[in-house]
Structure 1
Amino acid sequence: MPAEDTHGTEPTVRDAISAPDAEGRPRRVTRRFPLFTRDTARPEGGGRAAAGDAPAPARQWPMLLVLSTVALGLLLTALDLFRLGTLLIGGALLAGAVLRWTLPGVGMLAVRSRFTDIATYGVLGLAIALLAMTAQPKPWLEIPFLKDTLHFTLTK
């Protein structure tokens, strides 16, 4: 197990793959966790969205907002309001991306790094919303090259 150095308050771990110094120890110091971790770091922004003395639902309101909106969208989809329900699901994911971008702490809505969460929520939300708007019959949005692309791939 690598030797740990403490500089100030944050522990650092010597990187075992860097070139050794004169005493045979690796020169480069990293803040990564050692190979056998006892705990994992929370993602940035993964702290509570409300004060610690607030009840659990209040501390996790961003996640509850996104999940309840997705649940409503699924309910509308099940009740044969496909386009409205899927637009609501896509909008909920886009709202999750906006919340992750703007708020310093979003609780369990933070899964990975801020960039990864925003990109994932944003791309999936946009894709679901666009697919809902292009769904047949009577699409709200028509992509001109999509029909030609589909025709080309099926006839060749």
Structure 2
Amino acid sequence: MPAEDTRPGAGPAAPDSGGQPQRPTRRFPRFTKDTARPEGGGRTARGDAPAPARQWPMLVMLSTVALGLLLCALDLFRVGTLLIGAALLAGAVLRWILPSVGMLAVRSRFTDIVTYGILGLAIVLLAMMAQPNPWLQIPFLKDTLHFTLTTK
């Protein structure tokens, strides 16, 4: 027989009026058996709507990324990559504005916005600086690259 835990509130839960065990303390249990749903992880449409309608923010973002990948495959690298970065930036905006975004919510709202925003901005900037004939030239990057690659 295992030794009984003598911590306050660690014993068996007292039943409530319906016979269901109550938690005697507000402390979290020592071992969790499941994970909490992410903030904003609820449905974006009512429950009787079809599944795609309930997850429209994620579907919009994934469709835009798929279109960007298709454009990259059709040899429109810069436009396709810009579209992928724009999809991530749109995901950040959707996560910021909408109270419930379905599966687009992965972590906390702040973390999702920062992650989508930084990755989207990085992809857009890298697409604009891609060679040949970059649309965006940052002078100090060329000097930095030249300095790190010279062996004089």
**TM-score between the two structures when normalised by the length of structure 2:** 0.82
- Structure 1 runs not aligned, ≥5 long: 6-10, 14-32
Q: Distance in 2 between matches of 1:58 and 1:67?
A: 14
Instruction: Name which of 45, 52, 58 aligns with 2:53.
Output: 58
Q: Distance in 2 between matches of 1:104 and 1:37?
A: 27
Asked whether 1:102 is paired with 2:97, we answer yes
Quote the RMSD (CA, aligned, Å).
Answer: 1.7
**TM-score between the two structures when normalised by the length of structure 1:** 0.80
> Larger radius of gyration, structure 1 or 2?
2
Aligned partner of 1:121 in structure 2 is 116
- Structure 2 runs not aligned, ≥5 long: 14-24
Aligned partner of 2:19 in structure 1 is none
Q: How many matched pairs? A: 132
Q: Distance in 2 between matches of 1:134 and 1:34?
A: 51
Aligned partner of 1:46 in structure 2 is 41
* 1:73-127 CA-partner distances (Å, limit 9, x unpaired): 0110011000000000000000000000000000000000000000000000000
Asked whether 1:82 is paired with 2:86, we answer no
Asked whether 1:155 is paired with 2:120, we answer no
Give structure 1 regions of 4+ aligned residues with deviation exceeding 3 angstroms: 1-5
Q: Report percent identity of matched pairs.
A: 80
Residue 12 of structure 1 deviates from its aligned partner by 2.5
> Secondary structure of the equivalent of 2:26?
strand
Amino acid at match of 1:98: V
